[in-house]
Amino acid sequence: MKLACIGDIHGFWDAADTAYFNASRYDGLLLVGDLPRMTGGLREARALSALTKPAWMIPGNHDGCSVVQLMAEIRNWRVPAALTSRRMARRVGALARAMAPVDLAGYALDRLNENTALIRARPHAMGPNRFYYAAYMRRAHAVRDFRQSAQRLKKLVDAAPERIVFMGHNGPAGLGSEPTDPWGCDFSPAFGDFGDPDLAEAIDHATRQGKQVLAVIAGHMHHRHKRGGAERVHAVRQQGMLFVNAASVPRIRQDGARRHHVALTLGDHEAHAADTWVNAEGRIVETQTLGN
Ligand SMILES: [Fe+2]
Ligand SMILES: [Fe+2]
């Protein structure tokens, strides 16, 4: 089975992308969230709705929020964050309707094939230092903190068949604290490992249950460093699991001549992935094997 993983879109998706994936040999697409440049995303959602392959998306921290709400979350302004969260369910619903048949969800278990599940982790993930979007998460998902979120994810693991692919917006904790690690914090290196503890706990639970985690796909911590320096490691393989950060931002470069996705191949016992750059005519111009 071959899947195309699309990192944080942030406004960079056009008709050439849709045409490429519709004509491709991929069995489906995984979209890790963050549709708009900042907020909104309806234009990008409508463009995605023309995809004819099965496609699953998890909301990112830029999906379904307003500018004021995003600012309130970042600055930890609690009252404005709570007030602006009231319309979030409506905005997420509008995005979901605009992108259908692309499926938008968090905390979801889907079958990729008979033996393999796709588990989508906590939606709107933004980092482990606070439980972001708390009022919305409580109302829309009945989840109040990382502990409850981990419990929710473990139930999905228990209901899954023997093989699992996890998809999050942010990646799991435990993969390193340097800014060059897949989910190490680059905007404030003092935060160190910026992966999410609930996702890490769910992955650990899956392996303890004897389930095979083939791959964990996420984004959020963009590949391009704002302050220059060494490039982030895009993928690592640990204990047979392939962890991929797909967030090459912007994913369209050089006036459309280079468009990024990650080609993910699922075998019976392991996954393989490659950073893949395609031109506007749909020809692959560069591939780089990840996490070997
Ligand atoms: Fe992003
Ligand atoms: Fe993000």
CATH number at residue 174: 3.60.21.10
Q: Which of 4-18, 60-74, 220-234 has the lowest mean pLDDT?
A: 220-234
Nearest to 115 by CA among 165, 78, 72: 165
Per the document, the length of the chain is 292
Report the side by side order of strands in the sheet with 163-170: 108-113, 116-120, 163-170, 212-219, 241-245, 235-238
> pLDDT band at 187, cuts 50/70/90?
confident
* Dist CA 40 CA 104 (whole Å): 15
Q: Is 110 helix (H, G, I), strand (E, B) or coil?
A: strand
Output the pLDDT for position 228.
62
Tell me the pLDDT tens digit for each residue of 72-96: 999 999 999 999 999 999 999 999 9
Q: How far is ligand 2, taken at its centre, from the CA of residue 272, in Å?
A: 24
Task: Summarize the confidence of residues 89-106 as an average pLDDT.
Answer: 98
The environment of the single-atom ion ligand 2, i.e. residues with CB closer than 5 A, is: 34, 60-61, 220
- Confidence (pLDDT) at 292: 76
As to burial, measured by CB atoms within 10 angstroms (0-12 exposed, 13-18 middle, 19+ buried), residue 202 is: buried
d(CA 86, CA 78): 13
| Contact between 264 and 30 (Cβ < 8 Å) | yes
Q: Please list the alpha-helical segments (H only) found in 129-171.
A: 134-141, 146-159
Higher pLDDT, 186 or 136: 136
Residue type at position 91: R
Displacement of CA 210 from its chain's centroid (Å)? 25
* 37 alpha carbon – ligand 2 mean position (Å): 11
What is the Cα–Cα distance from 122 to 137, expressed in whole angstroms? 9
Question: In the chain, what percentage of residues exceed pLDDT 90?
Answer: 95
Supply the range of the domain harboring residue 110: 2-290
- Kindly report whether the global pTM for this prediction surpasses the value 0.85: yes
**Which residues keep their CB under 5 angstroms from ion ligand 1?**
8, 34
126: CA distance to ligand 1 center in Å? 9
> What CA–CA distance (Å, rounded) separates 262 from 259?
10
Mean pLDDT score across all residues of the chain: 96
Question: What per-residue confidence (pLDDT) applies to 237?
Answer: 97
Domains contained in the chain, number = 1
Round to whole Å and give the CA distance between 206 and 176.
21
At residue 81, the pLDDT reads 95
Q: pLDDT band for position 226 (50/70/90)?
A: low
Q: Which residue has the higher pLDDT, 224 or 188?
A: 188
Ligand index nearest the alpha carbon of residue 6: 1
CA of 220 to the centre of ligand 1 (A): 4
pLDDT exceeds 80 at position 163: yes
Q: What is the pLDDT of residue 122?
A: 98
Mean pLDDT of 128-132: 97
Calculate how far, in angstroms, residue 34's C-alpha sits from the geometric centre of ligand 1: 5
Percent of the chain whose predicted confidence (pLDDT) is above 70: 98
The per-residue pLDDT for 35 is 98
